[in-house]
A and B are shown apart, each in its own frame.
Chain A
């Protein structure tokens, strides 16, 4: 079976994306409060989706669709922190005290 370097790279990026998405799932379950969970939620969007979309772009090659894939990453990078901030800010306005390990 022939495996091209491109395929290796694509599988590598996909595995990376899956790994960080998995870490996020674990994080959302394990972390103690809303603020801490918002941290890990941004991981899926940045590296999880980012690495996966890089793999997609590699498969597509040089095409218009590739440009759109890159734009997709760019928009995720703008919207993700905005959403995370909105959640954290809402929590703060509701006077939710951050969890601490010493209390």
Chain B
């Protein structure tokens, strides 16, 4: 059987259950513990998380040997490192791929939350069942919490959110420092933090990383403003030109950023610069409407993408091929719209400039 593992309070019990089931079942007792990757191979976020995952797997292996006997075979593997895990289907896919050679049973820790705060355990189980695997949740003492959005709230999250809210309140009050301001600010910030600290931060909160990202974000703003001014002038020229020289095209690009915040920042920055407009985002594939060839070239050169990578992943992430070089950007040639209407699929042809 295969057991996907991640940091959770009931992991120990899940390991015990899986080992017992493996030993009591017919055939050779083998348990595969797999840890889907929760990092991306770039910048300063990755190294620590990778190490944690490997430590976790080592710990699980030790526990399994404690519970099992000499016949038990324990395998631990990190899976999904070559692909981007975004939704429940992605997790189900890598687990099913792993299970491909002869494993039919999946034991799931009911407290396991591969998506951080995003509730994807249930849909992942459904997707695994669809792929023909027998899925069961390990019976653990601690009952499964129903509010799946509320997870991993901790003192650190609470304190951070409280601090931000309190500072913002004082900022609006002009840092008057009166007793009234401080008291009402503290009450408001407590309310905000109490209600939202479990859903505000989706990734694990690491204050030094967060601080570095904030500093780099401040550096990013002037650059973004520059881009906005330049493209504003370009679009103003096009609009005021008597012959209105526009060549609108839908463009599809696979971005080299991962996760909610980086994608949001990139998509919003693309939309903020006139001439490019984000229409859809699927995972990290973005569909962008571009007004002029110049705007398209800018997008294919990936300047904004590189800047966003810098904000979130630091200086090393600046070294990335442009979307054009990666072959990750193409012009979408809509066919006559009849058959791609229902499936949501679009017909994609050729590289930039290859008109159908």
Contact = CB atoms under 8 A, between A and B. Distances in A.
Interface of A: 19-20, 23, 26-27, 30-33, 35-36, 38-40, 42-43, 46-47, 63-64, 67-68, 71, 77-78, 80-82, 84-85, 88-89, 91-92, 95, 97-102
Contacts of A33: 248
Interface in B204-253: 228-229, 232, 235-236, 239-240, 244, 246-250
Contacts, number: 108
B119 interface: no
Q: Considering residues A38, A46, A102, which has the most beta carbons from chain B within 10 angstroms of its beta carbon?
A: A46
Contact of B278 (A47, A88, A95, A97): A88
A68 B279 contact: no
Contacts of A97: 334, 337
B228 A47 contact: yes
Interface in B251-289: 267-272, 274-280, 287, 289
Given A84-B271, A92-B287, A39 B249 contact: no
Interface of B: 171-174, 228-229, 232, 235-236, 239-240, 244, 246-250, 267-272, 274-280, 287, 289, 291, 334, 337, 341, 355
A77 B267 CA distance: 12
Nearest to B239: A27
B278 A85 contact: yes
Contact of B277 (A19, A26, A39, A95): A39
B248 A100 contact: yes
Contact of B274 (A30, A42, A95): A42
Contacts of B228: 46-47
A26 B241 CA distance: 11
6 contacts: A32-B248, A35-B277, A39-B235, A40-B274, A85-B267, A98-B248
Given A35-B289, A36-B246, A67-B174, A81 B236 contact: no
Contacts of B272: 42, 46, 77, 80-81
A43 B235 contact: yes
Given A67-B171, A98-B289, A35 B248 contact: yes
B279 A35 contact: yes
B232 A46 contact: yes
